[in-house]
């Protein structure tokens, strides 16, 4: 799952395109590298995120559920930005943490959806 996303992320920086459309400002090499490091540090049972380029140089991952969403972004500035909405009735919580050591923050790890084994 995550390995498949690596190719999508790498392509964002190389072609400056996403889903066949030109991206105004393609992600920097550092943003792509940070995003790839993030994928490699996800737990093996993590649900795969949707991958996108925001058009302003950011690599974005998102997960969506019935009443849940999580967005994670990288600009290549050594930071990881993320926003979590745990239910439609709760406010969204936004965070920005250091990503220089490329460690996924615990509160973000806890928010990432996991594949349920039966």
Q: pTM of the entire structure?
A: 0.82
pLDDT of residue 4: 56
Taking the C-alpha atoms of residue 33 and residue 75, their distance in angstroms, rounded to an integer, is 10
Given a cut of 50, is residue 1 above it in pLDDT?
A: no
Q: pLDDT tens digits for 55-104? A: 888 999 999 988 889 999 999 999 999 999 988 888 999 999 999 899 99
Residue 50 and residue 63 in contact, taking contact as beta carbons nearer than 8 Å: yes
Taking the C-alpha atoms of residue 33 and residue 67, their distance in angstroms, rounded to an integer, is 31
Token pair for 5:
């996303």
Instruction: Please give the full DSSP string across 39-98, using - where no structure is assigned.
Output: HHTS-TTBPPPEEEE-SBS-EEEEEE-SS-EEEEEE-SSSEEEEEEE-STTS--EEEEEE
Q: pLDDT tens digits for 14-61? A: 655 545 555 578 899 999 999 999 999 999 999 989 999 888 889 999
């Amino acid at each position: 799952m995550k390995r498949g996303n690596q190719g999508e992320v790498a392509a964002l920086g190389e072609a400056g395109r996403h889903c066949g459309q030109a991206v105004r400002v393609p992600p920097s090499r550092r943003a792509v590298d940070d995003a790839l490091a993030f994928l490699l540090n996800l737990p093996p049972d993590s649900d795969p995120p949707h991958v996108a380029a925001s058009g302003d140089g950011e690599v974005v991952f998102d997960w969506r559920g019935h009443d849940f969403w999580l967005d994670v972004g990288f600009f290549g500035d050594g930071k990881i930005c993320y926003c979590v909405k745990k239910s439609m009735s709760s406010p969204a919580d936004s965070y920005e943490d250091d990503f220089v050591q490329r460690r996924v923050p615990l509160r973000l790890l806890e928010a990432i959806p996991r594949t349920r084994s039966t």
